[in-house]
Amino acid sequence: MTQQTLTLQTADGPMHAYRVAPDGAGRLPAMLVIQEAFGVNHHIRNVCHRIAEHGYVALAPELFHRTGHGLDLGYTDMAQVMPHFSTLTNAGIRMDIDAGLAALRADTRVDPARIGVIGFCVGGFSTVLAAEHTDAKTFVAFYGGGILRARPNIALTPLIEDAGLIRQPILLIFGGQDQSIPPEDVKAIDERLTALGKAHRVVTLPDGGHGFACDDRAAYHQPSSDEAWKVTYDWLSRHL
């Protein structure tokens, strides 16, 4: 596999993005990988490698480029995280996703007709935002918070009212033990997408908490993570 850091241009300045691609020639499907609230860190880079091992080009843009570059923030010190996380906006994330998707479409290893988006935590929120406002082929959102209701002390705004804009299939994965996304919110999201006739699947892993798929966090729950990735790769094989 090849790995490199690209510099993408946005209206708010340069943005670094971590790219991993399988060896060889020929065009492949690709996934835009959207970070958690902790930067394009070891976990997100590892996700890129994991996805590349399954035959996809993976690209992870640094959403925090407006407040720093190369940020790899710890999981236990939210005081370090919030100065970056609290400044994220829906419009800024859309800008960064558009830049990432454009880079993948221009990538000589990528089939531009087979590009998806996957994200975790705030990246899960961002994946739903991408589903509402981009033409990517499919979407996978892991435990995205703030989809249904606003969260305190951050600038991001809920997405559910624009769910009618979703045009392509979306998979949403949640943890049954996630204290930040209660079951009634998951149910409301599922019901809204169903009422709108959107192609979607909502999966709740009953023993997983928030961040269950990250093996760098105390919240990691391997059985839930293994099942979530199994569901994810099955989804991508059918939709990408």
214 is catalytic: no
Q: Are 131 and 163 in contact (CB under 8 A)?
A: no
Q: Is 79 exposed, middle or buried (0-12, 13-18, 19+ CB in 10 A)?
A: exposed
The C-alpha angle 4, 93, 166, rounded to 5 degrees, equals 110
Of 200, 210, 221, 239, the catalytic one is 210
Q: Phi and psi dihedrals of 158, rounded to 5? A: -60, 155
pLDDT surpasses 90 at 153: no
| Span 96-115, pLDDT tens digits | 999 999 999 999 999 999 99
Which of 84, 121, 200, 221 is an active site residue? 121
pLDDT score at 76: 87
Question: 74: pLDDT confidence band, cut at 50, 70 and 90?
Answer: confident
Strands 57-61 and 13-21: antiparallel
State the pLDDT at residue 131: 98
Mean pLDDT over the full length of the chain: 97
- Residue 178 bears catalytic tag: yes
| pLDDT over 90 at 93, yes or no | yes
Rg (CA), the chain: 16
pLDDT tens-digit series, residues 176-187: 999 999 999 999
Q: What is the pTM of this model?
A: 0.97
Q: pLDDT value at position 103?
A: 98
Give which of 86, 160, 170 is closest to 131, Cα–Cα.
170
Q: Work out the percent of the chain whose per-residue pLDDT is above 90.
A: 95
Phi, psi (deg, nearest 5) at residue 203: -120, 125
pLDDT value at position 77?
84
For the segment 193-230, what is each residue's pLDDT rounded down to a tens digit?
999 999 999 999 999 999 999 999 999 999 999 999 99
pLDDT at 152: 86
Give the pLDDT mean for 19-46: 97
Catalytic residue among 48, 84, 96, 178: 178
